[in-house]
Chains A and B, each alone.
Chain A
């Protein structure tokens, strides 16, 4: 600059330029900045740990089959990925990857709160694949509208992994267990014979360890919300689920897994007789505790109520394209390639242990093969079979995170203070209604 600046002028310029920069930097507050449908160039993918590893395994063949597109898969980490995606969506899509790996617990919330944040994939032909995936997943990808905003990648049917050696020592026959009443009785026998508790839960609620409670609800086809989005957190089925947990706790069958790495430590020490988890745990147990080879088996989860159903989909994850991506078509091509071709999805499964949602993938012999870690049991087959039987969609809604919080508080009150499950859930449901403006189901 060649001219003299007065003090006032200098301040005016500084303020104006700073305000301009500030406004520019802060974007449009979640409207979803205009992206583009570019079909070439470099696309980035956000995922986490083993899933990212699995996804990387298809990149070489994708790039070979799709010249002009290069893919970089970034392991952002979980739960860090949720903060990154949320901040990105809230700032109009700035800084987001082209492809996002999103869990069922977050996708409905993102679709609900950031209407343009996730790209519409129907225009690329996503709807053609509706019947290709396990039942009960499509409502999640469409959200409230009709357009598909993601493709299912991973599906997690529920199972129950158990320590065969502890069961044997206590004289418990797993085939004689059909519901959680049976399992509670078996748990007491195992505790007496081996000193080992039946399962672990974070009683403090620090990690909102609600999978078990949710599974017990889902086994009764109930969740925090019904299909219309009304609150069912205080429903009889929910009370039944929490009552089962209270009984287990009162019988001394639940180990407290609060604290960093406690559950893993208890599992490695053989101090938990069962591990009520979904299909992803098949490879997790095998790779994390190789020294326990031959000790574990898997069974169908016991029903929550006598005669009740013994299969449910616990959760699922998806690949979506960010609305702000300038290469939405290229991103879609990658998703289509990775998730709709049995050979590719099984390659991912082999690399990362992510149980595929694509039905055609199950024809692969690996899903019927004996697994050496589980004493030669064909451990994957029951999971596949459970997917074809009466799988219902779970409505997570955009308020799942809040529901999880209140449910977790209720569970902690029951486990730590001996609160009555019905009272605790009634209070939780009322708070949830007050905070979300949703009605409670009759």
Chain B
């Protein structure tokens, strides 16, 4: 098989093969697999196939399953029953409340911290910057389950490292995983530890893309460091900030691994998230119809929040 020659070097076509015109398109009646227009499609074919098999099909199948109930293949159509049931399920609302609480508290905290870290790493006054950057990024390379197990040991009330450190300062042991309030704090702690460095690296890339001339011009105009941060850094970072806010929101709404390993959703459902509840319904209770309805409810919430954020934070025309 031959690649079609470019328009700059038109070649006489062998008998039985087509030729290409100056736009690279084949003339009618020509037979050739690899042309400049078909090659890109062939190249993206594996990704498209993977998407269709492992994403598109399950998404469509899940929508159908959410409208049914029953066992195994003996499913029968029940319309919106699962969605109605969801509206009257106190545990769903508890899970949604917990997820929202973690979202409202943890995302701003983590992104604020990530921005501070990025500003520090961007400073020319910091020694051994590559080493610090590496150190900040390493937690995000840790497996989520491993992080959860590690923190469950650190936060153990009787034998945990954190309580031992606190006891050195004469502070009473905290029941990190045994009280609803502190368990939530524990989950926020793990997520913040895991993702702050990741977001800091994204911000760092954004900071390094801001032209220095802007800062120099502002200095000439007499702007101080805070004024420069507010008037130059933040506006220039807007697209990056939007990206991290949207990604973190989606990530938090899909929070599963950390509470699953750390608290199992307890104590008394205080760290139960929507995704955990979805998992329980699917894989513990075998209630696939209801689990699919939960998945779609969550997807809807994610979509609405994402759109809202893009609207509120996006570029104003």
Contact = CB atoms under 8 A, between A and B. Distances in A.
B269 interface: yes
A98 B153 CA distance: 38
A21 B49 contact: yes
Given A92-B73, A114-B72, A206-B264, A14 B48 contact: yes
B203 to A, nearest CB: 34
A260 B152 contact: yes
A243 interface: no
A204 B183 contact: yes
B140 to A, nearest CB: 22
Contact of B157 (A22, A206, A258): A258
A333 interface: no
Given A26-B61, A29-B73, A262-B159, A2 B268 contact: no
B174 interface: no
B53 A22 contact: yes
B31 A23 contact: no
Contacts of A409: 268-269
Interface string B47-76: 011001110111001000100000111110
A7 B177 contact: no
A258 B178 contact: yes
Given A25-B53, A416-B178, A7 B45 contact: no
A115 interface: yes
Interface in A269-285: none
A102 to B, nearest CB: 13
Nearest to A83: B283
Given A83-B283, A416-B179, A206 B88 contact: no
A17 interface: yes
Contacts of A435: 89
B285 to A, nearest CB: 5
A114 B35 CA distance: 50
Contacts of B61: 26
Contact of B288 (A90, A259, A399): A90
Most chain A CB inside 10 Å of its own CB: which residue of B37, B89, B265: B265
A197 to B, nearest CB: 12
A1 B153 contact: no
A115 B49 contact: no
A31 B91 CA distance: 30
A327 B232 CA distance: 71
A3 B31 contact: yes
A113 B25 CA distance: 56
B33 interface: yes
A256 interface: yes
A205 B38 contact: no
B127 interface: no
Contacts of B52: 14-15, 18-19, 22
Contact of B156 (A4, A260, A401): A260
A10 interface: yes
Interface string A372-406: 00000000000000000000000000110110010
Contacts of A19: 52, 57
A220 to B, nearest CB: 26
B53 A18 contact: yes
Nearest to A265: B159
26 contacts: A2-B31, A3-B31, A4-B30, A4-B31, A5-B33, A14-B52, A18-B56, A19-B57, A31-B74, A86-B283, A90-B286, A113-B72, A204-B267, A205-B264, A206-B262, A206-B263, A206-B265, A207-B264, A258-B177, A259-B157, A260-B153, A399-B285, A405-B280, A413-B268, A417-B268, A435-B89
Interface of B: 18, 26, 30-33, 35, 37-38, 41-42, 45, 48-49, 52-54, 56-58, 61, 65, 71-75, 88-91, 149, 152-153, 155-160, 177-180, 183, 262-269, 280, 283-286, 288
The 7 closest A-B pairs by CB, nearest first: A30-B72, A31-B73, A206-B264, A18-B52, A22-B57, A204-B267, A205-B266
Interface of A: 1-5, 7, 10-11, 14-15, 17-19, 21-23, 25-26, 28-32, 82-83, 86-87, 89-90, 92, 109, 112-117, 203-208, 256, 258-260, 262, 265, 398-399, 401-402, 405, 408-409, 412-413, 416-417, 431, 434-435
Given A3-B31, A23-B57, A204-B267, 8 more contacts: A18-B56, A115-B74, A204-B183, A204-B263, A205-B264, A206-B264, A413-B268, A434-B88
